[in-house]
């Protein structure tokens, strides 16, 4: 077998010099895929994921060079020892000068060096110089302030330009003391030294591509602290927590919480064969043209028996298309009254992942590129018929989940005020999908630790104040494992950094359809797992059960998410003792006859209800039969009293225990009460790992 290595160097820094590691680097700016074959002890050969590294590479040279995260406009952490590291010729003397400090070291035999700057107060801008024998690097516009790591999946990746009031936010983004370094996406089966990106000064020209949660968090800190704020944004949409955990930490976990990654390694080896490479080229060509367009499936669908049935809306991960990317066509016939003949209309399809082209009766009525955009298309005159009409949607999925994934009420046709629902049974037929070409798409979830290695490990020496995290949607199917995985990852990162920094996260928002009756909920169990992680020191949680979007897994009110995270930091790390950082949280419950009285921790605030009649929604109680029923609830003497006519002797109480609960219990500052349950009865079946 041929061993291939590309991209960034391996290993990392601890005290002083780096460990010896390979330093091969391809020249130029490029996107490349490398298959790593690594031979471990006991002759075990693991063929790991196809690795995509996006970054700027430079040829190996003797010039002194800092790691890529050190660049113009960067922010260094105040009041902390700051490490700066990089490469030079072997044994080359290196001198670094910054803000009145000059430190010297010598590169090791592997050409790696690392120096430490003593703690500094907030300030700047300053210049940093790094000099070797024959070369010198100047880094300008450097600030000293507060640095926070922002990581997670798509809701952290979600950009300012996609948030509420995006145009206004971008126009007002004159905050030159806020800087953002976005880590370019990459994967690796082994720890890397370097990640790539550049520091950007916050302005109307740059902020649109900042992480929205990270930016609004940073803005709150700046407005209160008036010191420079740096955010390091390292996230990837649709990712499991396992891929963000280091291999040594993950391998030490109990077997019952570790994922079974199956035969991904074998499948990857097959993907490198000449036959599979040729099939990939054919797939790419067919994907670009889509023969179904030439065959005009939107007019002539061919033999109906070649189409299958699917209930829509539904995300592909729950269907036979779960592992497919590419083009899939959907059709639905619907009947209109004769009065609708030839009239204009409005078509709504909800959000589609990723892109679509839509026809009615063979006439294109709209197309959209973007997975998080709700589709609304104007249907012109003389397109609709009285009687049977045909709606055709070609959905293009480029990776991850796919399909029409909104709510049933999001899918309709409106003709002169009369609304025709379109949710229900549709027919579908793939035209160009990866499975038909023998292609298995690989991403960061194919094996544990791929993103930790490439997007976290390279920055573990960079001094930070703390981290904010928005992830969990991808792990909702196994919330009990998340009870272990999440705190383990936090402790893992802290151990790698060498100190226990603050770690704050966003609890999953409300999403999907409202439950008509109390039932088990995977999302509720994941929220519970997140809450349980508060047992770790220096942690905090932003509850967002009130600001989600039932039809969109990416709610747009990221301003409030950032603000609630910042409340935690300001109160716990920056001495703002007058700030209430949390809504009410469950403390205890007492059963008195047919009632349960619930006591909350309110953190210096008081309970409040967003209901003019004072009734609290979202509570349910169960008796010994463990069947929950909706309950009446009200505030009495600073506690919540709960009862149900359907339960004479309640033994357990739950609040906001569903995907999209009707929850209206807050504190007087407007922060929502956290979902909870007093029982710990088995709920959603844990998926096989």
Peptide bond into 166 cis (omega under 30): no
* Residue 574 contacts residue 560 (beta carbons within 8 Å): no
**Degrees to nearest 5, angle at CA 393 with 156 and 396:** 45
Distance of CA 363 to the CA centre of its chain: 37
Report how far residue 301's alpha carbon sits from residue 567's, in angstroms, rounded to the nearest whole number: 56
pLDDT score recorded for residue 47: 30
- Residue 60 CB-density burial (10 A; 0-12 exposed, 13-18 middle, 19+ buried): middle
pLDDT digits (tens, 9 = 90+) for 444-465: 888 899 999 999 999 999 999 9
Give the distance between the most distant pair of CA atoms in the chain.
Answer: 86
CA torsion 443-446-452-455 (nearest 10°) is -10
pLDDT score recorded for residue 44: 28
- Secondary structure of 570-602 in HEC code, one letter for each residue: HHHHCCCCCCCCCCCEEEEEEEECCEEEEEEEC
- What is the radius of gyration, based on Cα positions, of the chain? 27
Which residue, chain included where needed, has tokens 């600001």? Answer: 547
pLDDT score recorded for residue 596: 98
pLDDT score recorded for residue 373: 85
In this prediction, the residues of the chain whose per-residue pLDDT falls under 70 are 1-62, 264-272, 441, 685-689
């Amino acid at each position: 077998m041929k061993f291939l290595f590309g991209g960034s160097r391996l290993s990392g820094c601890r005290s002083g010099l780096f460990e010896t590691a390979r330093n091969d680097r391809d020249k130029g700016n490029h996107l490349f895929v490398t298959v790593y074959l690594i031979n471990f002890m006991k002759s075990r050969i693991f063929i790991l994921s196809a690795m995509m590294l996006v970054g700027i590479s430079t040829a190996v040279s003797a010039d002194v060079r800092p790691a890529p995260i050190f660049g113009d406009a960067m922010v260094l952490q105040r009041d902390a020892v700051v490490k700066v590291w990089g490469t030079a010729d072997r044994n080359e003397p290196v001198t670094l000068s910054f803000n009145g400090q000059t430190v010297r070291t010598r590169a090791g035999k592997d050409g790696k060096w690392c120096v430490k700057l003593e703690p500094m107060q907030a300030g700047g801008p300053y210049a940093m110089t790094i000099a070797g024998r024959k070369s010198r690097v100047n880094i300008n516009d450097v600030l000293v302030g507060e640095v926070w790591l922002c990581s997670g999946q798509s809701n952290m990746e979600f950009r300012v330009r996609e948030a509420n009031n995006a145009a206004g936010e971008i126009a007002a983004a004159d905050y030159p003391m806020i800087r953002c370094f976005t880590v370019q996406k990459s994967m690796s089966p082994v720890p890397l030294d370097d990640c790539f990106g550049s520091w950007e000064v916050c302005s109307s020209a740059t902020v649109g591509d900042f992480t929205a949660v990270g930016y609004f968090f940073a803005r709150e800190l700046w407005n209160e602290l008036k010191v420079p704020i740096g955010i390091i944004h390292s996230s990837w949409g649709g990712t499991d927590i396992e891929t963000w955990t280091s291999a040594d930490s993950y391998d030490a976990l109990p077997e019952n919480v570790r994922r079974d990654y199956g035969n991904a390694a074998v499948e990857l080896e097959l993907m490198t064969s000449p036959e599979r490479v040729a099939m990939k080229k054919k797939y790419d060509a067919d994907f670009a043209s889509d023969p179904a367009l030439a065959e005009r499936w939107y007019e002539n669908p061919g033999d109906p028996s070649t189409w299958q049935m699917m209930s829509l809306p539904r995300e592909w991960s729950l269907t036979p298309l779960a592992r497919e990317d590419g083009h899939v066509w959907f059709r639905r016939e619907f009947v209109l009254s004769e009065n609708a003949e030839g009239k204009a209309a409005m078509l709504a399809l909800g959000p589609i992942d990723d892109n679509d082209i839509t026809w009615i009766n063979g006439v294109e009525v709209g197309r959209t590129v973007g997975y998080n955009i709700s589709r609304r298309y104007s249907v012109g005159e003389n397109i609709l018929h009285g009687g049977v009409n045909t709606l055709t949607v070609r959905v293009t999925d480029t990776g991850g989940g796919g399909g029409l994934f909104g709510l049933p009420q999001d899918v309709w046709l409106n003709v002169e005020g009369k609304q025709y629902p379109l949710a229900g049974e549709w027919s579908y037929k793939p035209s160009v999908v990866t499975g038909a070409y023998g292609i298995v798409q690989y991403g960061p979830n194919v094996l544990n630790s791929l993103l930790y290695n490439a997007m976290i490990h390279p920055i573990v020496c960079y001094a930070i104040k703390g981290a904010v995290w928005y992830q969990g949607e991808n792990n909702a199917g196994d919330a009990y494992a998340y009870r272990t995985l999440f705190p383990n990852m936090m402790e893992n990162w802290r151990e790698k950094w060498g100190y226990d920094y603050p770690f704050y996260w966003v609890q999953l928002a409300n999403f999907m359809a409202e439950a008509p009756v109390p039932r088990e909920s995977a999302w509720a169990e994941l929220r519970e797992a997140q809450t349980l992680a508060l047992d770790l020191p220096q942690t905090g949680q932003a509850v967002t059960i009130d600001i989600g979007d039932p039809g969109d897994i990416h709610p747009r009110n990221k301003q409030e998410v950032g603000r609630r995270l910042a409340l935690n930091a300001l109160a716990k790390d920056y001495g703002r003792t007058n700030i209430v950082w949390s809504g009410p949280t469950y403390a205890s419950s007492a059963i008195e006859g047919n009632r349960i009285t619930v006591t909350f921790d309110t953190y210096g605030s008081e309970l409040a209800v967003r209901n003019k009649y004072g009734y609290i929604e979202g509570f349910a109680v169960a008796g010994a039969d463990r069947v929950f029923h909706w309950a009446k609830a009200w505030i009495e003497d600073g506690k919540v009293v709960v009862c149900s006519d359907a339960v004479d002797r309640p033994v357990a109480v739950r609040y906001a225990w569903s995907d999209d609960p009707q929850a209206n219990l807050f504190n007087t500052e407007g922060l929502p009460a956290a979902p909870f349950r007093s029982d710990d009865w088995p709920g959603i079946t844990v998926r096989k790992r």
